[in-house]
């Protein structure tokens, strides 16, 4: 001992790998930003800033006339109905496909058997179906169904059901696979069926996450319903399209405030359901 105390180095030993990772990220991100023509400094140009300020000034004060609020209430109910019905139908599509795709519920996985190839084929077909359903955006489906069914929320309901059925099914299967699969395996090895293994082995541990994701998708469906309103599917989107075309910023700001209330409603619903399942 020479009386000196060895001090830990001040330099972070992981600094170089982190800096290298950041540099690689910037190098890879730069061509992506160029291809997307990302130029945020244009927003601060004097002419553009003045145009935006004049546009936003038209949003104040929000419209509060009784006639418009009546239309707003009707459009809000249409949007909620469209999103809820769409998610309900998507739920019907997603559950059997997720059930078929979940590998931890495969009876053949507990040992070799004659039905192993049939299970693999079924999971592959379910996975391909989920890819097909979610590959086409809901707005495209809405355009197709508007041509077939005419203007109105029915086209939006079917568009949401198809696209969100694919999304829900994929994520449901991933949530079930990422949860603790040992109880389900034990039930299958004891001779129980796949539905019993799902209900008593997987769902108790994954229920909160499944409910939380479903409510989140309902919130996304509300926003998607608004977007589809611009192509004739009714609801708040169609009302917003009319207000913007008439350059009525007060009505548009009132509709935006309603959007905010719907998102807060979805957050409160998700928190309540998670508490009930805790």
Give residue 168's pLDDT band: very low, low, confident or very high (50, 70, 90): very high
pLDDT of residue 65: 87
Under CATH, to which class is 66-277 assigned?
mainly alpha
Give residue 167's pLDDT band: very low, low, confident or very high (50, 70, 90): very high
User: Is pLDDT of 255 > 80?
Assistant: yes
Record the tokens describing residue 84, joined without a space. 């809820």
Give residue 110's pLDDT band: very low, low, confident or very high (50, 70, 90): low
Written in H, E and C, the secondary structure of the chain is CCCCCCCCCCCCCCHHHHHHHHHHHHHHHHHHHHHCCCCHHHHHCHHHHHHHHHHHHCCCCCCCCHHHHHHHHHHHHHHHHHHHHHHHHHHHHHHHHHHHHCHHHCHHHHCCCCCHHHHHHHHHHHHHHHHHHHHCCHHHHHHHHHHHHCCCHHHHHHHHHHHHHHHHHHHHHHHHHHCCCHHHHHHHHCCCCHHHHHHHHHHHHHHHHHHHHHHHHHHHHHHHHHHHHHHHHCHHHHHHHHHHHCCCHHHHHHHHHHHHHHHHHHHHHHHHHHHHHC
Which residues touch 229 (CB under 8 Å, ≥6 apart)? 75, 79, 156, 235, 236, 237, 238, 239, 240, 241
Cβ atoms of residues 185 and 110 within 8 Å: yes
How do residues 191-247 score in pLDDT, each as one tens digit? 777 788 888 888 888 888 888 888 888 888 888 888 888 877 778 888 888 888 887
pLDDT of residue 193: 78
The pTM for the full model equals 0.75
Higher pLDDT, 187 or 93: 93
Which residues touch 77 (CB under 8 Å, ≥6 apart)? none
pLDDT of residue 4: 52
How do residues 50-88 score in pLDDT, each as one tens digit? 877 877 787 888 888 888 899 899 888 888 888 899 999
pLDDT of residue 161: 92
Distance CA(72)–CA(236), nearest Å, equals 7
Give residue 9's pLDDT band: very low, low, confident or very high (50, 70, 90): low
pLDDT of residue 109: 62
Task: Please say whether the dihedral angle defined by the alpha carbons of residues 95, 97, 100 and 101, taken in this order, is positive or negative.
Answer: negative
Higher pLDDT, 47 or 21: 21
**What average pLDDT does this structure show over 33-47?**
77
How do residues 122-166 score in pLDDT, each as one tens digit? 888 888 999 999 888 888 888 888 888 887 788 889 999 999 999
Distance CA(187)–CA(180), nearest Å, equals 13
User: Is pLDDT of 3 > 70?
Assistant: no
Say what the alpha-carbon torsion angle 159, 165, 167, 173 is, to the nearest 10 degrees: 180
């Amino acid at each position: 001992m020479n009386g000196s105390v060895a001090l830990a180095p001040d330099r972070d030993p992981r600094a170089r790998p982190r800096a290298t990772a950041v540099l690689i990220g910037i190098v890879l991100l730069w061509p992506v930003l160029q291809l997307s023509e990302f130029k945020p400094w244009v927003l601060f140009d004097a002419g553009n800033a003045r145009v935006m300020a004049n546009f936003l000034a038209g949003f104040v004060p929000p419209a509060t006339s009784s006639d418009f609020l009546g239309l707003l209430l009707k459009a809000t109910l249409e949007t909620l109905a469209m999103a809820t019905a769409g998610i309900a139908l998507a739920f019907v599509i997603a559950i059997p496909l997720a059930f078929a795709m979940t590998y931890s519920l495969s009876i053949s996985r507990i040992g070799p058997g004659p039905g192993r190839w049939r299970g693999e084929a079924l999971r592959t077909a379910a996975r391909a179906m989920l890819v097909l359903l979610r590959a086409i955006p809901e707005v495209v489906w809405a355009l197709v169904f508007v041509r077939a069914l005419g203007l109105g929320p029915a086209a939006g309901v079917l568009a949401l059901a198809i696209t969100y059925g694919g999304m829900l099914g994929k994520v449901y299967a991933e949530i079930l696979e990422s949860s603790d699969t040992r109880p389900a395996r034990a039930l299958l090895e004891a001779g129980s069926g796949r539905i019993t293994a799902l209900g008593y082995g997987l769902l108790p541990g994954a229920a909160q996450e499944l409910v939380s994701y479903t409510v989140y998708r309902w919130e996304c469906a509300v926003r998607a319903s608004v977007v589809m309103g611009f192509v004739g599917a009714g609801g708040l989107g169609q009302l917003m399209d009319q207000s913007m075309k008439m350059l009525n910023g007060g009505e548009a700001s009132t509709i935006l405030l309603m959007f905010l209330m719907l998102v807060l409603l979805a957050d409160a619903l998700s928190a309540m359901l998670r508490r009930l399942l805790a």
